[in-house]
């Protein structure tokens, strides 16, 4: 079972072949360890980098890095943290209570 899954057989197909009703049963037999997950992820990243243009993997300039870090400083608000994605505009103009992306700090709940 473990060898079949490590060789690329999808776990849900292995479950059907073995007659397992639940995928968790199959995964319990499969013995997939964190090291395996890490090595598979690194192999995936290596394959992805060979398929993508190399200019996407250039080093950031100091200005670009500072801009990226300042975005996260701006996301800190009095009631918690703004969940907006990097480089997206805010339509609420500091009226964060109206924004569905406000991640309220539990300690600030009495203020609401």
Four-CA torsion 101, 102, 103, 107, nearest 10 degrees: -170
Contact indicator for 71, 87 with CB cutoff of 8 Å: yes
Residues 30-55 have pLDDT tens digits of 766 667 767 777 888 888 888 887 77
| Nearest CA among 100, 107, 52, 55 for reference residue 80 | 107
Residues 57-104 have pLDDT tens digits of 788 889 998 988 887 777 777 788 888 777 777 777 667 777 888 888
Contact indicator for 54, 48 with CB cutoff of 8 Å: no
* Phi, psi dihedral angles at 103 (to 5 degrees): -100, 100
Task: Please indicate, yes or no, whether the overall pTM of this predicted structure exceeds 0.85.
Answer: no
């Amino acid at each position: 079972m473990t060898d079949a899954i490590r060789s690329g057989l999808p776990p849900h197909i292995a479950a059907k072949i073995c007659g397992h009703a639940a995928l968790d049963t199959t995964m319990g037999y499969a013995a997939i360890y964190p090291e395996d997950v890490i090595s598979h992820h690194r192999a995936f990243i290596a394959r992805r980098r060979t398929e993508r243009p190399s200019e996407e993997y250039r080093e950031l300039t100091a200005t670009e890095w500072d801009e990226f870090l300042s975005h996260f400083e701006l996301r800190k608000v009095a009631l918690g943290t703004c969940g907006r994605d990097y480089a997206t505009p805010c339509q609420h103009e500091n009226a964060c209570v109206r924004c569905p992306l406000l991640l309220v700090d539990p300690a600030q709940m009495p203020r609401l």
